[in-house]
């Protein structure tokens, strides 16, 4: 029996590493690729001795060469946190444009199926709630988030062009807020920011009045949805996320209760173009994938909190509070 081979870009990142582990467990031969600009090889350390896993240190914005057969590509290379994509805006634009073009070209040459990682940010600050796949979004192309939002919108357009013009087998997942082990404490997203602040004895910073909403999906649920999407027969975008909506203020209060700390919530001005609402409509995923999240926020937060508590004090203190002062929190 020939083992099927999958290339996962962004393999050393939060989501990419979880996907590598899942595909190894499923019996695939996995090639992980990452330029390590935001990823960390320690996320893949448990796979280093696995004969079915190999790693290539490479920037996907340059030509990608893979020897031999290739059955699937999962393109997850991209900065995904506000701190990252506001610090390296050009690289963020290039990885979802040039990088996607290279991955699509590789898929075409190998006759491989490709799944690209889009985002709920394509909806911008939505005027439709909850967000459904046929909503076109409300995005500011020249705002501070435009480097990420528009890059992902271009990624979707380029992927569909390859699908319709070349007949390439493509899949597009629109990922909503996701959390779990291997997130970076200082990546600017709201959950690690809150937990990091609580563990350091700092007050929890909320931008705006805390009435903006988010919907948090545990990473194992997300990976299951992505896995099912890759192997289904559907080429248009699909939302994958948890529709259980909560305000940021309520979420901060949950974190304080979880950590058993006595910090208070402090409020700062809302950054430019920060979405007021974020909630996926997952009717399509339920219909075509038979998928919906299974892990409760209570359970997922406990697993994630235990992971962050296991970090060394040195790692914890690297994520300084000032890192979050001027960035949008997702």
**Phi, psi torsion values for 14, nearest 5 degrees:** -60, -60
Structure tokens at 303: 């697993």
Rg value, the chain, Cα: 19
Would you name the residues annotated as active-site residues?
Answer: 148
What does the alpha-carbon distance between residue 153 and residue 40 come to, in Å, rounded to a whole number?
A: 26
Helix (H) or strand (E) holding 53: strand 53-57
Place of tokens 């029996």: 1
User: Helix, strand or coil for residue 227?
Assistant: helix
Distance of CA 180 to the CA centre of its chain: 11
Q: How far is CA 129 from CA 125, 276, 277, 310, in A?
A: 10, 10, 7, 37
C-alpha closest to that of 327 among 148, 173, 120: 148
C-alpha closest to that of 241 among 118, 72, 115: 118
């Amino acid at each position: 029996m020939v083992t099927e081979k999958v290339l996962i870009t962004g393999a050393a990142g939060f989501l990419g590493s979880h996907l590598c582990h899942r595909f190894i467990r499923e019996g695939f031969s996995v090639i992980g690729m990452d330029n390590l600009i935001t990823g960390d090889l320690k996320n893949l350390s448990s796979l280093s001795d696995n004969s079915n896993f190999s790693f290539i240190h490479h920037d996907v914005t340059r030509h990608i060469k893979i020897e031999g057969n290739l059955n699937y590509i999962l393109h997850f290379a991209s900065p995904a946190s506000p701190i990252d994509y506001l610090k390296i805006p050009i690289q963020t634009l290039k990885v979802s444009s040039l990088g996607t073009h290279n991955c699509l070209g590789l898929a075409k040459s190998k006759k491989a199926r490709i799944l690209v990682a889009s985002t709920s940010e394509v909806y911008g600050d939505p005027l439709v709630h909850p967000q459904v796949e046929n909503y076109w979004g409300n995005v500011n192309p020249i705002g501070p988030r435009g480097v990420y939002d528009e890059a992902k919108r271009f990624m979707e357009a380029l992927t569909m062009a390859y699908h319709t013009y070349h007949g390439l087998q493509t899949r597009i997942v629109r990922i909503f807020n996701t959390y779990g082990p291997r997130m970076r404490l200082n990546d600017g997203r709201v959950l690690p920011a809150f937990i990091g602040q609580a563990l350091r004895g700092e007050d929890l910073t909320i931008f705006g009045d805390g009435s903006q909403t988010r919907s948090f999906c545990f990473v194992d649920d997300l990976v299951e949805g992505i896995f099912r999407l890759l192997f289904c027969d559907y080429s248009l975008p699909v939302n994958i996320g948890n529709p259980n909506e909560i305000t940021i203020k309520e979420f901060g209060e949950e974190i304080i209760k979880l950590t058993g700390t006595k910090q208070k919530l402090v409020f700062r001005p809302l950054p430019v173009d920060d979405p007021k609402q974020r909630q996926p409509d997952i009717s399509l995923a339920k219909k075509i994938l038979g998928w919906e999240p299974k892990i409760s926020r209570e359970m997922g937060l406990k697993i994630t909190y235990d992971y962050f508590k296991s970090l060394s004090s040195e790692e914890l203190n690297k994520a300084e509070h000032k890192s979050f002062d001027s960035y949008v929190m997702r």
